[in-house]
Amino acid sequence: MAIRKLKPTSPGQRHKVIGAFDNITASAPEKSLVVGKRKSGGRNNTGKMTMRYIGGGHKQKLRLIDFKRNKDGIPATVKSIEYDPNRTARIALLYYADGAKAYILAPNGLQVGQQVMSGAEAAPEVGNSLPLANIPVGTIIHNIELRPGQGAKMVRSAGVFAQLTSREGLYAVIKMPSGETRRILSACKATIGSVGNSDHALERSGKAGRSRWLGRRPHNRGVVMNPVDHPMGGGEGRASGGHPRSRTGLYSKGLKTRAPKKHSSKYIIERRKK
């Protein structure tokens, strides 16, 4: 995966750095794995705006991604690598030997024509999905389940990966992309390799219009509001507004918002780095 820096033929092109689509092999998605996607514009069922700065954006279709990988023991061939507007990673279309089709997140190094498989018997190779109990210690993984059979919940963004560092009884110890070290049941599945499109972090939109295409409306700061609208509003001139906080008064720099008795705290060995 590479990036493209455009020539400054206009103000919008001057700072634009976008991903190259050189590894994408299909321009249209698989029809049987696509559903319509409705946009709320940040409104609830009564039409009241409950999330600000949302609206507009290009029309998108939802690709159905197989995060469970529960067709164990059945080999699948990678038919194409495709773009997905709903996520930063690329997706891969699989054709299973029994005729089924599915989308998965495309890991780094996955090629069209390659064979992948899931299940305890699968080899620990890129794109294969195995229980953590069957993955060698030190392996780079992504797409990790939190509960067996639930489907992958963690490490799904472009370019990220976790590492299986050790085992403790029924649990595997995983080093997360955030730096956090935590235990996860060894029966949970994970996919070998790191998520593809690792250059996504280097992209720059170049202009405000690209945010509008993504459905993001202009976001105004609390400091420029009036006191009735925001705790940081008001004052003469450019007043900073005291301690940074949210519209509801919650401190936004350094305040711990994690529940002190959260059930998953017992699985965390080392908290993420500040």
Instruction: State the number of CA atoms in the 13 A half-sphere of 257 facing the CB.
Output: 7
Q: Which of 74, 150, 147, 139 is nearest to 107 (CA)?
A: 139
Identify which has the larger pLDDT, 253 or 215.
215
For the sheet containing 171-175, what is the strand order?
129-131, 189-192, 140-142, 162-168, 171-175, 181-185, 268-270
pLDDT at residue 1 tops 70: no
Tokens 């949302």 belong to 54
Mean pLDDT of the chain: 94
Q: Which of 205, 213, 200 is nearest to 12 (CA)?
A: 205
Q: pLDDT per residue over 139-187, tens digit each?
A: 999 999 999 999 999 999 999 999 999 999 999 999 999 999 999 999 9
Q: Which domains does the chain have, with CATH numbers?
A: 24-201 (2.40.50.140), 221-266 (4.10.950.10)
Q: What is the pLDDT of residue 51?
A: 95
For residues 233-249, give the mean pLDDT.
Answer: 87
For residues 253-268, give the mean pLDDT.
Answer: 92
Exposed / middle / buried, residue 197 (Cβ in 10 Å: 0-12, 13-18, 19+): buried
Q: Is 129 helix (H, G, I), strand (E, B) or coil?
A: strand
Contacts with 263 (C-beta within 8 Å, 6 or more apart), sequence order: none
Where residue 45 falls among pLDDT bands split at 50, 70, 90?
very high
The Cα angle at residue 157 between residues 151 and 158, in degrees rounded to 5: 135
Tokens 């992309």 belong to 177
For residues 128-149, give the mean pLDDT.
Answer: 96
Q: What percent of the chain has pLDDT over 90?
A: 89
Where residue 131 falls among pLDDT bands split at 50, 70, 90?
very high
For residues 181-203, give the mean pLDDT.
Answer: 96
Report CA 25 to chain centroid distance, whole Å.
22
CA distance 137 to 68: 22
**Helix, strand and coil in the chain, % to nearest 5:** 10, 30, 60
The two three-digit tokens of residue 166, written as one number:
């050790």
Q: What is the pLDDT of residue 262?
A: 94
Instruction: Give yes or no for a contact between 267 and 169, defined as CB atoms under 8 angstroms apart.
Output: no
Where residue 34 falls among pLDDT bands split at 50, 70, 90?
very high
Strands (E), 7-146: 17-19, 34-36, 61-63, 76-82, 91-96, 101-105, 115-116, 129-131, 140-142, 144-145
pLDDT at residue 39 tops 70: yes
Contacts with 87 (C-beta within 8 Å, 6 or more apart), sequence order: 105, 156, 157, 158
For residues 54-63, give the mean pLDDT.
Answer: 96
CA distance 232 to 228: 10
